[in-house]
Amino acid sequence: MQIGTKLAGGLATIAACLLACPPALAQGTPSSALTEARDLAADGRLAAAKGVPLLVLYSRDDCSWCERLRREHLAPLARDPAAPALVRELHIDRATPLIDFGGRRTTSADFAQQMQARFAPTVMFHGPDGAALAEPIVGFLLADFYAAHLERAIQQSQTRLQQRK
C-alpha cells in the first residue's frame, strides 16, 4: 500500500514539474535555440522596421562552437526585447527552403555558399536588402573577447544603417 502511495505521489510531482516547465523545455527545444532563417526578405523588413541590423549565425549541426556561441551570446541577445539586432540562424549544412533578400527561393546551403559562409560559426550583419553592414566574425577562437567583437560589429552595423537613411 505504501509503495503505491509513494509511486502516485512521485508521478504527481513529475506531472507538476512538467506543467511548470517553460514550453520550449517541455517540447524538448533547447533554451539556446534561435529562430531559423526561412524568409530573409521578411526578416530584413522586420529588422528595418525595428531600426536594427539583421544578425545571421551561419552554423552547422555538428558544430560545438556554434552551440557555445548560441548559448553564451546569441540566445540571450535574441531573447532581449530591446536587442540591438534581429537574430536569425542559417544552417550551412542543410538544404532548408529559404527565401533570400531579393525574394527568390533557394536553400540555406546554397545561400550560405553565395554569401561565402564556408566556416562555422560565422556571424554576418545584414541590412534590409542583404548588404553587409560590418565585417563577418568567423570562428569562436577568442571566446574571452567575443562579446566585445560582437558589440563592436553591431554598433558599426547600426551606424551604417543610420548613414543610409
Q: Give the percent of the chain with pLDDT over 90.
A: 76
Tens-place pLDDT, residues 118-163: 999 999 999 999 999 999 999 987 777 999 999 999 999 999 999 9
Please state the domain count of the chain.
2
Owning domain of residue 112: 32-164
Same domain, 125 and 65: yes
Same domain, 23 and 55: no
Same domain, 63 and 131: yes
pLDDT band of residue 7 (cuts 50, 70, 90) is very low
**DSSP labels, the chain:** -HHHHHHHHHHHHHHHHHHHS-HHHHTT--TT--PBPSBHHHHHHHHHHHT--EEEEEE-TT-HHHHHHIIIIIHHHHH-TT-SSEEEEEETT---EEE-TTS-EEEHHHHHHHTT--SSSEEEEE-TTS-B-S--EE--S-GGGHHHHHHHHHHHHHHHHHHH-
